[in-house]
């Protein structure tokens, strides 16, 4: 682990870029002749565009460029900052707004700085231009996932500071690398570090998903990703021969069994009995079989081996042991010459914590942070939908594994879900509304005092 101090902020080049962007924005909107004040919508959108224009696409994200930009923002807000490299070249930017009572558990606002790859030719606008169209849509990779959230935290703090608000609890912001490739060198190492322990975190906010309707979505848990590879072996034979137990036949029997299970889970979703995040999803990722020839495959030969790979997602209330049994007995039974490997490509993440309980964050009166969030969103004129299980994985799981409440929340209502898709965009008005939501949430969280109920309270609220 390497510890570094503040890297200094963006040099003249970035400042120039920012000015240039502001200029382009203003001349296209002709909102004002002068530089907008930092609190104006034009300046807020310009900062968002600047962050989006930093190319942090995997597998070679420009992490230091993003870090420099974030540190410059922190400086302009007089936030304390440090850059930590648990793995060289992969900075975690950690900012702090100190609370007046450092003995109280703190608030952590987490976001990742990397974005997923793009198929550039399928985009209408360049994915790193952050083009603002006439409808106010800002097109960029990361506009939804999740550079919006990272900067909204900062903009909310800018507004709270301007209003004279002083936090009681310390507010930390972590900007972590590598979420899109599993978060192992980012949030995972951060959450397990002594530095993290010293923050005395009481609650974490992390990413959610856009909502096509007027209700914001909030996530209290997520499914655990498993990868399953099953392999069939059987006697090879001439392509013309009918015989039992060929590798292909054995594999197909398994695939049929897996597909019946998949349909049973999907039926629950289709019937409206369960949400997508509440069922076990299984999807085939690859099929590997056949004997290659210079022109394709040898056709008059039945191969002796065949393999298939599956992406499986297990909800926190799923039964991982029952699923493993099912795999061993039905999907890859030794009696049919089958073997299997689990977690070959991705670590098989547990859905249970150390004491065997599902890793979820309570969304009832036992969790004051949930109630505060609901109330704060309402105060900001936002609507919150029913809490959900995140269908895929986020860094929030590393914080939940520590036993901390973590809520996935990206305030994007009336927005199509375009994360990882072509032409990812976010409307600027929706972005601005999200800042108001965070302003309300951060204010509520940072001033929260546990009602006296015996004990020192600090443990109870965890
Ligand atoms: Zn994300």
CA distance 414 to 385: 13
DSSP assignment of 4-56 equals E-------HHHHHHHHHHHHHHHHHHT--SSPPPTTSHHHHHHHHHHHHHS--
Average pLDDT score over the chain: 89
Q: Which residues pair with 2 in a beta bridge?
A: 85
> Which tops the pLDDT comparison, 444 or 391?
444
What fold is seen in the domain 225-342? Alpha-Beta Plaits (3.30.70)
- Please tell me the distance between residue 378's alpha carbon and the centre of ligand 1 in angstroms: 25
How would you classify the pairing of strands 281-289 and 305-314? Answer: antiparallel
Banded pLDDT at 428 (limits 50, 70, 90): very high
- Please tell me the distance between residue 280's alpha carbon and the centre of ligand 1 in angstroms: 21
Determine if residue 145 is labeled as part of a ligand binding site: yes
Q: What is the pLDDT of residues 391-400, one digit of tens each?
A: 888 999 999 9
Long-range contacts of 39-45 (CB under 8 A, 24+ apart): 39/158, 39/159, 39/162, 41/428, 41/432, 44/155, 44/431, 44/432, 44/435, 45/132, 45/138, 45/428, 45/431, 45/432
- Please tell me the distance between residue 128's alpha carbon and the centre of ligand 1 in angstroms: 17
Provide the pLDDT for residue 216.
Answer: 98
> Which tops the pLDDT comparison, 358 or 420?
420
- Please tell me the distance between residue 301's alpha carbon and the centre of ligand 1 in angstroms: 46
- Please tell me the distance between residue 426's alpha carbon and the centre of ligand 1 in angstroms: 14
Determine if residue 207 is labeled as part of a ligand binding site: yes
Residues annotated as catalytic (active site), given as ranges: 114, 179
Provide the pLDDT for residue 350.
Answer: 64
* Spatial contact of 4 and 83, defined as CB atoms under 8 Å apart: yes
Provide the pLDDT for residue 358.
Answer: 74
CA distance 357 to 368: 20
Q: Is CATH 3.40.980.10 what the domain over 2-221+353-446 is classified as, yes or no?
A: no
Which tokens hold the place of 398?
A: 């590393």
Q: What is the mean pLDDT of residues 217-224?
A: 93
Q: What is the mean pLDDT of residues 149-164?
A: 98
* Spatial contact of 128 and 140, defined as CB atoms under 8 Å apart: yes
Determine if residue 126 is labeled as part of a ligand binding site: no
Q: What is the pLDDT of residues 262-303, one digit of tens each?
A: 999 999 999 999 988 999 999 999 999 999 999 999 999 999
CA distance 205 to 411: 12
Which tokens hold the place of 140?
A: 């960029």
- Please tell me the distance between residue 393's alpha carbon and the centre of ligand 1 in angstroms: 9
Q: What is the pLDDT of residues 62-71, one digit of tens each?
A: 999 999 999 9
- Please tell me the distance between residue 178's alpha carbon and the centre of ligand 1 in angstroms: 10
DSSP assignment of 102-122 equals TTS-EEEEEEE--B----GGG
CA distance 30 to 36: 11
Q: Residue 126 is inside which H or E element, if any? A: none
Q: What is the pLDDT of residues 294-330, one digit of tens each?
A: 999 999 999 999 999 999 999 988 888 999 999 999 9
Determine if residue 238 is labeled as part of a ligand binding site: no
Determine if residue 374 is labeled as part of a ligand binding site: no
- Going from N- to C-terminal start, the domains of the chain cover 2-221+353-446, 225-342
pTM of the model as a whole? 0.81
CA distance 185 to 206: 17
Q: Is the dihedral of CA 387, 393, 396, 400 positive or negative?
A: positive
């Amino acid at each position: 682990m390497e510890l570094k101090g503040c890297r200094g902020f963006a040099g003249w080049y970035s400042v120039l870029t920012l000015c240039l962007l502001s200029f382009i924005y203003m001349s296209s909107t002709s909102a004002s002749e002068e530089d907008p004040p930092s609190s104006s919508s034009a300046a807020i959108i310009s900062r968002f565009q600047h962050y989006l224009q930093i190319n942090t696409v995997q597998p070679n994200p420009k992490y230091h460029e993003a870090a420099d930009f974030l540190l410059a923002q922190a400086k302009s807000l007089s936030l304390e900052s440090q850059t930590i490299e648990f793995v060289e070249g992969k900075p975690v930017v950690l900012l702090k707004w100190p609370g007046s009572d450092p003995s109280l558990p703190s608030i952590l606002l987490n976001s990742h700085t990397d974005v997923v790859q793009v198929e550039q030719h399928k985009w209408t606008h360049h994915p790193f231009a952050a083009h603002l169209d006439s409808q106010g849509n800002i097109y960029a990779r990361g506009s939804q996932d999740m550079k919006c959230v990272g900067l909204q935290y900062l903009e909310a703090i800018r507004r709270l500071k301007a209003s004279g608000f002083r936090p009681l609890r310390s507010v930390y912001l972590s900007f972590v690398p590598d979420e899109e490739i599993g978060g192992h060198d980012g949030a995972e190492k951060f959450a397990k570090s002594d530095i993290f322990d010293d923050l005395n975190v009481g609650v974490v906010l992390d990413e959610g998903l856009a909502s096509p309707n007027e209700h914001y979505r909030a996530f209290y848990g997520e499914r655990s990703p498993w990868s399953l590879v099953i392999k069939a072996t059987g006697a090879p034979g001439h392509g013309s021969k009918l015989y039992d137990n060929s590798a292909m036949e054995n594999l197909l029997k398994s695939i049929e069994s897996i597909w019946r299970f998949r349909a049973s889970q999907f039926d629950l979703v289709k019937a409206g009995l369960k949400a997508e995040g509440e069922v076990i999803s299984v999807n085939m990722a690859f099929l590997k079989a056949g004997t290659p020839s210079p022109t394709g495959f040898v056709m008059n030969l039945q191969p002796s081996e065949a393999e298939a790979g599956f992406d499986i997602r297990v909800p926190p209330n799923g039964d991982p042991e029952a699923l493993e049994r099912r795999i061993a007995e039905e999907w890859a039974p030794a009696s049919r010459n089958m073997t299997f490997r689990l977690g070959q490509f991705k670590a098989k993440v547990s859905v249970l914590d150390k004491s065997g309980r599902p890793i979820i964050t309570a969304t009832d009166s036992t969790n004051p942070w949930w109630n505060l969030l609901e109330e704060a969103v309402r105060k900001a004129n936002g609507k919150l939908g029913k809490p959900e299980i995140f269908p895929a994985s986020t860094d929030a799981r590393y914080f939940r594994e520590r036993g901390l409440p973590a809520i996935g929340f990206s305030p994007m209502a009336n927005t199509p879900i375009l994360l990882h898709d072509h032409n990812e965009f976010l409307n600027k008005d929706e972005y601005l509304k999200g800042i108001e939501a965070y302003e309300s949430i951060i204010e509520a969280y940072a001033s929260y005092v546990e009602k006296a109920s015996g004990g020192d309270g600090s443990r109870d609220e965890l």
